Amino acid sequence: MTNVFRWADVALDESDPDLKRRTMVSADVGSGYLHMGELTIMPGKEIPLHVHPTHGEACM
């Protein structure tokens, strides 16, 4: 099965005032391993250094 998403149709999560998050691929849409989305960090804010012991992560 192939899912096609329009970026503008995916809900924007603004529950954290320091971040805006939009998730495109996750277990919610049937993905077994891949999680992909867009994370916008507000100016002057940062994500603390941390480790994911069970998976890799890339930010671009």
Is the Cα dihedral 44, 45, 50, 53 positive or negative?
A: negative
Q: Does residue 24 sit within a domain?
A: yes
Confidence bin at 57 (pLDDT 50/70/90):
confident
What span, in angstroms and rounded, lies between the C-alpha atoms of 33 and 50? 20
Residue 56 domain-assigned?
no
How much is the pTM?
A: 0.66
Q: Which residues are bridge partners to 41 per DSSP?
A: 19
Q: Would residue 58 count as lying in a domain?
A: no
Give the residue numbers spanning the domain of 33.
7-41
35 located within any domain = yes
| Total domains in the fold of the chain | 1
Residues 36-50 have pLDDT tens digits of: 889 999 999 988 888
Q: Is residue 28 part of a domain?
A: yes
